[in-house]
Amino acid sequence: MRVLLVEDERKVRDSIAEGLQSEGFEVDVADTGSHGFARLRDAPPDVLILDLGLPDLDGLDVLRDLRASGSRMPVLVLTARDALEERLAGLDGGADDYLVKPFAFSELLARVRALLRRGRTETVMQLVHLDLELDLVRRRACRAGEELVLTTKEFELLELLLRHAGGTVSRKAIAEVVWRQVSRATPLDNVIDVHMARLRRKVDDPFPRRLIRTVRGVGFQLGDGPA
């Protein structure tokens, strides 16, 4: 899968490119809008990651031109401005998704994968990770055949971790998905930590292998859990 990353900040660009490459993507980069245009024309990627604050062109113009040319390429927009109007402008301009800086790499990865999956309808009824099973229809969770009694929030939390098994889920992503938080001005970190601690007591404490791992400064990860 080929990704074109248009981002003028060298450090952000290089580190994202490195991360995506390590995840098996083929990454093409551009540091200006016009350069991005050229790369889009010469070697159309499967997905475009586009920063809106470019030095020469407004990212939105790049986006509009791309859509005007009839392309339906999935586009993930990055922005350091979060005024609601700008988000809306981004989506109206043809973006499929957006991320506000600073973001966790895991989130970027999850969204890029989601964009690439788009169109392929897959209704997941069940999520499985090692001996942990989640029945999304009956909303039941089992580990090693034993049913876990979870609250709604705990179930949603576990579901989110399972959907990104192996990757890291940031607190911000949890706040947005599980708590449907719109504004980041209200820190839900304490709430999330308490729920996570409870989830661990139910999912991990009774079993020899601990699956939920805290990645310091990044978030939480559902891993293989060393014995």
Partner 1 sequence: MNRWRSSVRLRLATLYVAGLGVVLLLFGSCVFVLVRARVMQSVEVRSQAELARLASYLQQEGISTSEEMEEPGYEPYLVVGPDGSALYASSTWRDLGLPQAPRELAPAGGGEAREPALHVSSLSFRCANQDVTAYVAIDTGDTRRSLSILMAVLLGGTAAALVAALFLGYWLAGRALAPVAALARAAERVGVGDVTARLPVGVAQDEFDRLAEAFNAVLERLQTAIEELRRFSSNVSHELRTPLAAMRSVGEQALRRGTDARGEEAIGSMLEEVDRLTSLIEQLLALARTEATGAGEQGNPVDPAAVAREVVNACLVLAEEREQELVCELEEGLVVTAHPLLLRQALYNLLDNAIRCTPPRGHVRVRVRRLSNDESVIEVVDDGPGIAPEDQQRIFTRFERVDRDAAASGAGLGLAIAKRAIEACRGRIELASALGVGSCFRIVLLHGREAVPRREEQRPVRFSPNQGVSHP
Query: From residue 33 to residue 72, what is the string marking binding to partner 1 with x (rule CB under 8 A)?
Result: --------------------x-------------------
Strand, coil or helix: 136: coil
Site string for partner 1, 131-160 (x = CB under 8 A): --------------------xxx--x----
Contact of 8 with 32, CB cutoff 8 Å: yes
Q: CB-wise, 67 or 210, nearer to partner 1?
A: 210
- Cα gap 28→138, rounded to integer Å: 43
Among 33, 158, 195, 222, binds partner 1 (CB under 8 A): 195
- Among 106, 101, 75, 128, residue whose Cα is nearest residue 173: 106
The count of C-alpha atoms lying within 13 angstroms of the C-alpha of 1, restricted to the half-sphere facing its C-beta, is 20
Touching partner 1, residues 171-190 (CB under 8 A): 171, 179-180, 182-190
- Is the backbone peptide bond immediately before 226 cis, with ω within 30 degrees of 0? no
Q: 206: closest CA among 123, 143, 151?
A: 143
Pick 65 or 156: Cβ nearer partner 1: 156
24 binds partner 1 (CB under 8 A): no
Among 130, 136, 177, 191, binds partner 1 (CB under 8 A): 191
DSSP 157-181: HHHHHHHTTTSEE-HHHHHHHTS--
State yes or no: residue 213 binds partner 1 (CB under 8 A): no
Q: If you compute the radius of gyration of the chain from its CA atoms, what whole number of angstroms results?
A: 19
Structure tokens at 99: 């991320």
Instruction: Please report how close the Cβ of residue 54 comes to partner 1 at its closest, in angstroms.
Output: 12
Does 165 contact partner 1 by CB under 8 A?
no
For position 15 contacting partner 1 by CB under 8 A, the verdict is: yes
Determine the residue type at 177.
Answer: V
Which residues here bind partner 1, judged by CB under 8 A?
9, 11-12, 15-16, 18-19, 22, 53, 80-83, 100-106, 151-153, 156, 171, 179-180, 182-191, 194-195, 198, 215-218
